[in-house]
Structure 1
């Protein structure tokens, strides 16, 4: 107990969060938030919210959490997924949401940092707007700089195991960042980070694997018929992500029509929209861009606002040098969910003061996904990143909500299997809460684990919080899931 108290007192008191508007009660652990300046000349600053573990903060891992996009705020994960609070609508219209303690918060078993990255995302910013032209490799470098500087402010956490985590486009953020961290460790860059591994949920990984995942997923889920599946497989020779024949394109168009009207981030959830909108040619219910030649170009593209309340995780195809607008890709009138709670809370002056964030008058409004960035997907496939990291002994968990049609589990299952690692834990159920089946898992050599979460969508902890905390805590503790 004495060690825990020393640990808490060592953190910078100027960053301590003492209260949060909408919450009446006592925090179950200490919270800290604020900015880390990663470039003094540009005044480039990344915002973080740090929740100390409710268990054993001096021993529990430090976990960095990144949401996807690219360009979406990790405070989305803090508010809607596995942060310390659940949010409820205010008592009167226009009032701030009410905060209640989240019994499935990941801070139950870990110290966790929610980071807005890169600059221009969420509450992070730069005085030099050129910094908003960025990409995979620069983002990884900047986030590594953040970690080094963050641990200089919180040196008491340096002995703790460090894990990197995220979802969606963080399937790129996490392995590229992990690679930077490992390089820094090898070259003796100070401070030395105690990096142990990483986890990714429904993560973008590889154009071919991700792009070919949707048709088998849709067939397996009973969304397309056997006949339509066989016709598409024959016409496309099993390669759907880059159709080259008119017959294949026609079959993909047929699949697109059949899937129209589904909420792609969780096919079990309803999506409320007008019949007129669903029939529109510009309907939001189009196959994911991953399904349409993901990775066709490395030209930069503006980051789009999130669709249906979740970050669209793929790069869109650029034709004739023109990046299509968000309405051209997705339409505008079909919100399945919204960010009302997050927008009203994070754009409130008192909240900004409480979390030590700049006011809206200085850096603009908080948006779940930034429209400030011009982002280049320049790291390529993540397959070799995963091979290099796992072959060096770093632990890796790839988890997938099995009802996500945006980054289907079928793609993640395929690429993890493609590494050719020996299977050390054959396909089996995993359990939670008195032997309820939580999903399925398969373990490989080199500490690689593939895991599904039964009934979960794209943002696993949002849909299945109890199951998510179960596998998260077991994996971090090195136990069998």
Structure 2
């Protein structure tokens, strides 16, 4: 059994990250007292193209969240390299929970990559090639987002959704030229919780005419955690099928599954105590941890790889090294705030949210015409494709029967099979070949083609 902070520390060290602080708690800044966007243009340049920033009109900013003690949410906004006036607006969310979207921006699907000497180079497969894209550091305390009061640290995805909705209202008020553009919420990992919760809040705001109508068209979840009961039950099946465990291991581990499932169901009871959710977290992550332990040096984000000397399995250290430079912080307008890549306190505070089922809000969104893409790299263990495919199949909605009976067909890029996809109506599931937890990082070309076709309504 590993408790949340121990589990979080293991994950963070595995990415070669050593944050100076658990959470960003900063003094009240009088410059950000008003609940409005405070934004500035970025002055970065790219290697080989010093005009790239002016060409794209990149910006970064803070928003003073009105329903908090003193929290500021940080974000980046990148105009589309294609047609910003008509291309959709896409929000991308990183999981963790508590990991900054700067990780995705610079390593996964953003406009730039960071070189070893901390320079920026174009990412030829950035999702900004087909969309206007926003990267938000959330929940509060993540990345450059901060507060002066620990009471603002969120304890579930619904609280985070309220902050997200407030931010979107402020963003579209500050950028009215994008209000009519199609809007999508995307992300990976723990964003499998965030995305349904956030979309549900947007839908509620639209239905109640609470503010600016947000033209939400779809959601895309990559290797996410959405329905814990189904996904935790799938761990042993996935591990056996990938020869990570023996039949004997499988039989032994499956004896732990009923207690895990019962704990998740007790956690899902809204009248149940938070202690039930904490116990479910401990029981269920125990199954995952035992699979990892059996395999010793396995990289659970990509089981094809090993970590022969232990963590780190990846080296994402260029992000904090780059962003914590004084010149970069000045360019971003963050002042003396230090960048926290992955946040232990945010991770810990969401312990009772972890085992909640957020699939339950998705059927109503589908019935309201919001489409869903669930994609997963085939070699990820922690949020594996098998568990994701099973919860998508099991979801009860008007199109369930047609979706379940739909055939799996090749997803081809340049004539080569890059995955297998199943689609019916508004729902699509895609298993991506030769990819782990971060599909756009492992298969950038296929990832860009996937999101391009899906945004444009072209069959995968």
TM interval, shorter chain, is 0.7 to 0.9
Segment of structure 1 superposing worse, 12-21 or 42-51? 12-21
User: Once the 2 structures are TM-superposed, how far is the Cα of residue 25 of structure 1 from its aligned partner?
Assistant: 2.1
Matched ranges for 1:164-313 at <5 A: 164-226=185-247, 228-229=249-250, 231-232=251-252, 236=255, 239=258, 241-242=260-261, 255=291, 257-273=293-309
Matched, 1:459 2:438: yes
After superposition, residues 319-468 of structure 1 pair within 5 angstroms as 334-359=311-336, 363=337, 365-373=338-346, 374-376=348-350, 377-378=352-353, 380-420=356-396, 421-424=400-403, 425-432=406-413, 434-445=414-425, 447-468=426-447
> Judging changes above 3 Å, is the alpha-carbon distance between structure 1 residues 254 and 74 closer, same or farther for their aligned structure 2 residues?
closer
Aligned to 1:475: 454
Q: Name whichever structure is richer in helix by fraction.
A: 2
Deviations 1:35-60 (A, max 9, x none): 11112873321111001001111111
**Alpha-carbon distance between aligned partners in 2 of 1:73 and 1:352, rounded to the nearest angstrom:** 15
Change (3 A) 1:225 1:243: farther
How far did residue 410 of structure 1 move? 0.7
**TM-score when normalising by structure 2:** 0.80
Cα gap change, 1:253/1:430 in structure 2, threshold over 3 Å: closer, same or farther? closer
Alignment gaps of 5+ in structure 1: 1-11, 91-96, 275-333
Structure 2 CA distance for aligned equivalents of residues 71 and 464 of structure 1 = 24
- How big is the alpha-carbon RMSD for the aligned residues of Structure 1 and Structure 2? 2.7
Find 2:184's aligned residue among 163, 170, 177.
163
Matching of residue 103 in structure 1 with residue 124 in structure 2: yes
State the TM-score, normalizing by the size of structure 1: 0.76
Alignment check: 8 A CA contact 1:211 1:240 kept = no
Distance 2:432 2:447 in 1: 8
Name the CA shift for 1:254/1:80 in 2 (closer, same or farther; >3 Å).
Answer: closer
1:248-272 deviation per Cα after TM superposition (whole angstroms, max 9, x unaligned): x999998555322210000112313
Report deviation, 1:239: 5.0
Aligned to 1:277: none
Q: 5 Å matches for 1:106-121?
A: 106-121=127-142
Q: Does the C-alpha gap of structure 1 residues 224 and 32 become closer, same or farther in structure 2, counting only changes over 3 Å? A: same
For residues 133-148 of structure 1, the aligned pairs below 5 Å read: 133-148=154-169
Which consecutive unaligned segments of at least 5 residues does structure 2 have? 1-36, 264-284
Cα distance in 2, alignment partners of residues 238 and 119 from structure 1: 33
SS of equivalent residue, structure 2 residue 56: coil
Name the counterpart of 1:83: 110
Q: How many residue pairs end up in the alignment?
A: 394
Q: Any runs of at least 4 consecutive aligned residues in structure 1 with deviations exceeding 3 A, and if so which? A: 20-24, 40-43, 225-229, 235-244, 249-258, 376-379
Q: Secondary structure of the equivalent of 1:440?
A: strand
Contact persistence 2:231–2:390 (CA under 8 A): no
Distance 2:246 2:38 in 1: 60
Q: 1:39 to 1:226 in 2, by over 3 A?
A: same
Asked whether 1:62 is paired with 2:36, we answer: no
Q: Which residue of 1 aligns with 2:30?
A: none
- Structure 1 pair 217/130, CA: closer, same or farther in 2 (3 Å)? same
**Matched residues in 2 for 1:150 and 1:157: separation?**
9
Tell me the secondary structure at the aligned position of residue 340 of structure 2.
coil
* 2-structure distance, mates of 1:460, 1:405: 13
How far apart, in 1, do the equivalents of 2:301 and 2:288 lie?
19
Q: Is residue 256–residue 287 contact of structure 2 (8 Å, CA) maintained in 1?
A: no
Tell me if the contact between 1:207 and 1:241 (Cα under 8 Å) persists in the aligned partners: no
SS in 1 for 2:230: helix
The separation in 2 between residues aligned to 1:452 and 1:250, in whole angstroms, is: 26
What is the deviation of 1:22? 7.0
Distance, in Å, in 2 between the alignment partners of 1:260 and 1:239 is 25
Contact 1:423 1:443 in 2 (8 A): no
- Provide the C-alpha distance between the structure 2 equivalents of 1:215 and 1:358, rounded to a whole number of angstroms: 47
| 3-state DSSP of counterpart to 2:135 | strand
SS in 1 for 2:237: helix
Cα displacement (A) at 1:390 = 1.2
Over residues 67-89 of structure 1, what are the superposed CA-to-partner deviations in whole Å (9 max), with x where a residue is unaligned? 01211101111011011112111
Cα contact 2:137–2:143 (8 A) shared by 1: yes
